[in-house]
Structure 1
Amino acid sequence: MSVTNQFMTNVTVDVNQGILERMVFSAVTTLPCCVFLFINVTMLFTLRSKPVFCETSRYVLLYNLLFADTVQMALSQVLYLIAACRLILTYPVCGFLTLLASLTTTISPLTLLVMSLERYVAVCYPLRHTTIITIRNTGVAIVVIWAFSSLNILTRVLLLLEFPFKDLESLQMQEICSDRTMSIGPRSNDYDRAFICVLFVSAGVAVSFSHFGVIIAARSASTDKASARKALNTLLLHLVQLCLILFSTIFSPLLMALSGILTRIVFVRFYTCLYICVSLFPRCLSSLIYGIRDQTIRPVLMQHLCCRLTPKV
């Protein structure tokens, strides 16, 4: 499901691209990636800096989401640079990188699903929220998320075993590493499409259900209007995040179609901008959303971003 290098697989190898040009485009993508990684890592450190963050379910879920997004962002950039530098990997190394990227890509929408349901319970069932959404139940939900994502990886590995690797003269790949080149089993592509469809439809239904449930609850006289309004905004942002993650997963076929229309240099520039906006930026969106909107996180995060790790007395 990683899209960071699928364009490079089809274009970079076939084009006599200059070293300077490759360095420029690599630097253009690496700089914002490093900025986003710094923000995410600082946010992760912030969510472990105070007991309130470790003892509140939504902050624990946020940590899980940010961890997966941070790993995914780093892997995306690594795969992008490998493709830009035209490095040919072996099947085991490429398989490890792409499967790890697939694992973290699956965790993000599932965590957004659970976070949306948590906001739904907080608004619609405020008296039962503390008994339903406990740290223990949150931990169980995170374990289920990772187990389900790992099951997907196990299934993809079993599908890879259908390919006769023993007949190859060498495990060295002939193409640049990507999900497409690792879909070498006859049923891998069909499975990937079906899994993506089920995953994002399920997450979209859950987030939409939570959103409309909160809208209905907000009309009740007994509901805290300010809390409901804040939950609605959060759920709307979750829906936007989900759409961006989905688009970053499926926009590669669109780019392949455009590659035959645009000139190479125009297409590379277009892809680079789209890669930063659609693949990298959504992975930093959670840090920006909660870092700006959440009154508990914001002062601590700003303190850490300014490298003032020790608060003044």
Structure 2
Amino acid sequence: MLRQASSRSNVTRLGLVERVLSSSVTSVACLVFLFINAVMMFTLRSKRVFRETSRYILLFHLLLADTLQMAISQVLYLMHAYRIIPTYPQCGVLVMLTNLTNDISPLVLVAMSLERYVAVCHPLRHASIITVRNTGAAVLSAWTFSFFQVLTLVLIMVQFPFDELESLRMPEQCSSASIILLPVSDHYRTGYTAFLFGSASLVIVCSYIGVAVAARSASTDGESARKAQKTLLLHLLQLGLTVLSALYNTTLMFMARVTSWVTFIRMQSFMFVCFFFMPRCMGSLIYGLRDQTIRAVLTHYFCCPSKVAVAHVKAGIAS
């Protein structure tokens, strides 16, 4: 009996250590990526040229949705790691916010791809088509469309007879799968996700083909077209990585069957960072490193404080 009790205590202690380590890894990664996105969003609101240029306005809303998505995903991960069981309404709010921000990203990526297509293929009409007003309308439409999609899902879910339950506390951890209580909710969400990401992929691919064809024309700026092609490919990669997040739970179930418990816990945190954080940080990496205007402002913010400090040190030595 003592040996069994000691063995159970060791297993419990090992489980706690693994949960702390895995949650620490994801928390540190989340804080790093949130900081990167926060700096980018601050940069995009700091200069007038960013606030009045369509592609930077779209980028800001993409980063905003991705940042909210990362933060909510990390909250759900920590709740799962430490076995915090919420009520159905609490879990529903978190899951609906996750769905809202997750659906914004492909819609904004579509708008950004169309903006690049117009800039390369119809440069003379770009200024009249891609205006700040039209961009604001596109962003508002994306948020409104996603909100009504979430509202539709909520109206379907409330058809479940919650009043017949003994308690509103959930029997398991909060997740998108556990909050779907009716088959019609699952069918609706699956069909909508397939339609959304399929349509977004089609638009981005068509935009890429249009830019590629225009790049061969003598009247098109070849350098601008090549940059637009690379940007569209990166948008398609970002969209593909976002789709992979939908396969996170399926991959976890497969890993749980073929690996040991300790390996599963460690792989879970690694896959969580790859599936949920990396796609939501690609916007900052794509534009922060490739866009010369943004890179110049970022360099100014990161380098000027150090230059000021060096100037103060030199002044102190001289005196």
Same structural fold, with TM-score higher than 0.5 when normalized by the shorter chain:
yes
1:224 is matched with which residue?
A: 221
Q: Which amino acid aligns with 2:120?
A: V
- In 1, the alpha carbon distance for the partners of 2:165 and 2:187 equals 24
- Greater relative contact order, per chain length (Cα 8 Å cut-off, separation 6+): 1
Pair 1:149 & 2:143 matched = no
Stretches of 4+ aligned residues off by more than 2 angstroms:
15-18, 302-312
Preserved CA contact (<8 Å) 2:65 2:104: yes
Paired residue for 1:267, among 246, 264, 268? 264
SS at match of 1:169: coil
For these two proteins, the number of residue pairs brought into alignment is: 298
- CA deviation profile, 1:227-248 (whole Å, cap 9, x unmatched): 0011001001000000000111
- In 2, the alpha carbon distance for the partners of 1:311 and 1:136 equals 39
- CA deviation profile, 1:167-216 (whole Å, cap 9, x unmatched): 12221111111111100123111111101100010000000000000000
- In 2, the alpha carbon distance for the partners of 1:311 and 1:129 equals 41
1:111 is matched with which residue?
A: 108
Alignment of 1:10-89 (within 5 A): 18-89=15-86
Question: Greater CA deviation, 115-124 or 278-287?
Answer: 278-287
TM-score normalised by length of structure 1:
0.92
Deviation at 1:308, TM superposition (A): 3.7
TM-score normalised by length of structure 2:
0.90
Alignment of 1:271-310 (within 5 A): 271-305=268-302, 308=305
Q: Which amino acid aligns with 2:274?
A: C
1:198 is matched with which residue?
A: 195
Pair 1:99 & 2:96 matched = yes
Deviation at 1:271, TM superposition (A): 2.0
Deviation at 1:53, TM superposition (A): 0.2
- CA deviation profile, 1:113-149 (whole Å, cap 9, x unmatched): 1100100000000000000000000001011101110
Q: Which blocks of at least 5 consecutive residues in structure 2 are unaligned? A: 1-10, 310-319
Q: Which amino acid aligns with 1:40?
A: N
Alignment of 1:101-140 (within 5 A): 101-140=98-137
Higher-Rg structure is 2
Q: Which amino acid aligns with 2:227?
A: K
Preserved CA contact (<8 Å) 1:161 1:185: no
Deviation at 1:101, TM superposition (A): 0.6
- CA deviation profile, 1:244-300 (whole Å, cap 9, x unmatched): 001112232132123111111112222221111221111111101111110100121
Q: Which blocks of at least 5 consecutive residues in structure 1 are unaligned? A: 1-14
Is the alpha carbon distance of 1:205 and 1:264 closer, same or farther for their aligned partners in structure 2, counting shifts above 3 Å?
same
- In 1, the alpha carbon distance for the partners of 2:23 and 2:47 equals 37
Alignment of 1:176-187 (within 5 A): 176-187=173-184
Preserved CA contact (<8 Å) 2:103 2:146: yes
More helix by share: 2
Is the alpha carbon distance of 1:117 and 1:278 closer, same or farther for their aligned partners in structure 2, counting shifts above 3 Å?
same
Is the alpha carbon distance of 1:38 and 1:307 closer, same or farther for their aligned partners in structure 2, counting shifts above 3 Å?
farther
RMSD value, Cα: 1.8
Pair 1:168 & 2:165 matched = yes
- In 1, the alpha carbon distance for the partners of 2:193 and 2:199 equals 10
